[in-house]
A = this chain, B = another copy of it.
Amino acid sequence: MTASIFTDIPKQLSEELSQTLLKTPNIRIERILSAGQASPVDFWYDQEQAEWVMLLQGQARLSFADTESVELNPGDYLLLPPHCKHRVDWTTPHQVSIWLAVHIESEPFTEALNAAGD
């Protein structure tokens, strides 16, 4: 009935690995594993969906097209609004970095942001 976010880590991670933990019509919760990987230089994630992300293990740096980069340690979280261009600039090579990502359908999300700004 329960599972652990910290177990079943593959020994070899030649590339970043995303695993869906829960999927509903409106959200998708996933675990992302990075073993020193970073996004390609000049590549930007530009997602339709908002993404709420927390680092659970390891260390990472996210960079953005429109603002300063951020360093993440375990327990650090942030919201990436739809079309917030970002890339994974760096993850520690010393340990597998474990991310929890909650992808949120953008339409109701954008409505909520607009309503909050009224």
Mark A residues whose CB is within 8 Å of B.
Answer: 1-7, 21-27, 29, 50, 52, 54, 56, 67, 70, 72-79, 100, 102, 104-105, 108-109, 111-112
Say yes or no: A79 contacts B22, CB within 8 Å: yes
Chain B residues within an 8 Å CB radius of A111: 25
- What are 22 of the A-B contact pairs (CB < 8 Å)? A2-B72, A2-B78, A3-B78, A4-B76, A4-B77, A5-B76, A7-B75, A21-B52, A21-B77, A22-B52, A24-B109, A24-B112, A25-B109, A25-B111, A25-B112, A26-B26, A26-B27, A26-B104, A26-B108, A27-B104, A56-B56, A100-B100
Number of copies: 2
**Cα distance, A100 to B6, chains bound together (Å):** 15
Say yes or no: A54 contacts B100, CB within 8 Å: yes
Chain B residues within an 8 Å CB radius of A67: 1
